[in-house]
């Protein structure tokens, strides 16, 4: 059976990194990041100061191969399928990958790390099909929807702070990269993401929609206001990605407005939080061409295709009555509408 360890606030980052190493040694990860060399191509976009990263990780394809996962002991071959909780809205009848009881039944090698974020109980589990070293999925203990609320943003900030900024925290809204929208979750990694180097005032030149907020003053309130107004403007179609990371020694929130009608691209398929942050992980045979041809134009093409066509700051204001008057350092919402 899998196990659960708990970590106090000040040692959370250390505990997560230690458990990650243990999970690699236990054979729970598809590959051991300390033993594998990932072919990587970085392409620098001078205009915005961002080095887009393309990585070739074909071994990740095993994540969809049930037999191989069972043979490696990542998935319990003797799991009792009748015990597994399934959300009735899941059209494919999949069990919830993020419910604690399902994880314990399916992944005997997995060690979960317990933590409290804003007074709510969460668990972190190493992502066996990791994208970056120290990649965990963090989910509340109760089964609840992957819906954006102020709690999501504040829990992300709490998690970032509890790890002293070592871990970047990502949120993929439904239809914006979340593969299971029925159970709330975040992705966390220790590696810097390309967009962290985005030069000041260059948000409008970034190929997809993004706004950056520092935590100084009311930055979190303004980030939340933008996110909420974007979503409220078209609850059926709109979604978002969020990233909390430290930039220039200050925690920052990146808000990426998304639209479910532009969730995928021809080249890359589903585009989630890592991609919109400039990190392209390629693993399928059809994606090998992207890796081989990686350049700034390719990164811009992929990200341009998921940029919501109706995204402008003024649209956000027009959709909702009232307007925000404080535009701050990183102006997020125009006052002209």
Q: Give the angle 89-187-150 at the CA atoms, nearest 5°.
A: 75
Which residue stretch of 95-103, 104-112, 196-204, 297-305 sits at the interface with Zn ion (rule: CB under 5 A)? 95-103
Q: With contact defined as beta carbons under 8 Å apart, do 214 and 252 qualify?
A: yes
Q: CB of residue 104 vs Zn ion: minimum separation in angstroms? A: 12
Which of 53, 183, 229, 238 touches Zn ion by CB under 5 A?
Answer: 183
Residue with the two structure tokens 């907020």: 213
96 binds Zn ion (CB under 5 A): yes
* C-alpha dihedral sign at 191, 301, 61, 112: positive
Residue with smaller CB distance to Zn ion, 69 or 99: 99
Which residue stretch of 8-16, 176-184, 196-204, 265-273 sits at the interface with Zn ion (rule: CB under 5 A)? 176-184
Site for Zn ion in 205-264 (CB under 5 A): none
State how far the Cα of 43 lies from the Cα of 105, in Å rounded to an integer: 43
Residue with smaller CB distance to Zn ion, 95 or 109: 95
Q: With contact defined as beta carbons under 8 Å apart, do 142 and 151 qualify?
A: no
Q: CB of residue 101 vs Zn ion: minimum separation in angstroms? A: 9
Which residue stretch of 53-61, 88-96, 248-256, 320-328 sits at the interface with Zn ion (rule: CB under 5 A)? 88-96
143 binds Zn ion (CB under 5 A): yes
Q: With contact defined as beta carbons under 8 Å apart, do 159 and 117 qualify?
A: yes
Site size toward Zn ion, by CB under 5 A: 5
- Indicate the burial class of 245 (C-beta count within 10 angstroms; 0-12, 13-18, 19 or more): buried
Q: Tokens representing 243? A: 């990233």
Which residue stretch of 35-43, 92-100, 109-117, 274-282 sits at the interface with Zn ion (rule: CB under 5 A)? 92-100
State how far the Cα of 263 lies from the Cα of 260, in Å rounded to an integer: 5
CA-nearest of 203, 218, 311 to 262 is: 311
Q: CB of residue 144 vs Zn ion: minimum separation in angstroms? A: 8
99 binds Zn ion (CB under 5 A): yes
Interface with Zn ion by CB under 5 A: which residues? 96, 98-99, 143, 183
């Amino acid at each position: 059976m899998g196990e659960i360890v708990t970590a106090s606030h000040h040692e959370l980052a250390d505990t997560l990194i230690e458990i990650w190493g243990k999970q690699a040694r236990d054979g729970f990860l598809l590959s051991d990041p300390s033993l594998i060399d990932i072919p990587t191509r970085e392409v620098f976009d001078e205009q915005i100061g961002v080095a887009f990263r393309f990585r070739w990780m074909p071994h990740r394809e095993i994540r969809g191969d049930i037999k191989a996962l069972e043979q490696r002991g990542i998935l319990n071959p003797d799991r009792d399928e009748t015990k597994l909780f399934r959300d009735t809205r899941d059209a494919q009848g999949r069990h919830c990958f993020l419910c604690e009881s399902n994880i314990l039944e399916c992944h005997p090698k997995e060690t979960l790390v317990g933590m409290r974020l804003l007074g709510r109980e969460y668990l972190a589990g190493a992502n066996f099909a990791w994208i970056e070293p120290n990649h965990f999925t963090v989910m509340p203990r109760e089964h609840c929807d992957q819906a954006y609320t102020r709690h999501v943003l504040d829990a992300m900030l709490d998690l970032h702070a509890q790890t002293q900024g070592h871990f970047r925290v990502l949120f993929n809204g439904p239809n914006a990269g979340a593969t299971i929208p029925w159970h709330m979750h975040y992705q966390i990694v220790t590696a810097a993401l390309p967009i962290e180097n985005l030069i000041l005032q260059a948000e409008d030149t970034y190929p997809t929609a993004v706004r950056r907020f520092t935590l100084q003053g009311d930055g979190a309130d303004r980030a939340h206001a933008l996110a909420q107004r974007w979503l409220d403007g078209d609850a059926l179609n709109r979604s978002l990605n969020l990233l909390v990371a430290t930039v220039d020694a200050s925690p920052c929130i990146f808000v990426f407005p998304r639209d479910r009608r532009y969730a995928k691209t021809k080249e890359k398929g589903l585009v989630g939080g890592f991609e919109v942050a400039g990190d392209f992980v390629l693993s399928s045979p059809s994606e090998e061409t992207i890796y081989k041809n990686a350049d700034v134009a390719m990164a811009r093409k992929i990200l341009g295709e998921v940029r919501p066509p109706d995204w402008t700051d003024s649209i956000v204001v027009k959709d909702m009555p009232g307007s925000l008057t404080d535009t701050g350092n990183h102006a997020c919402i125009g006052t002209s509408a």
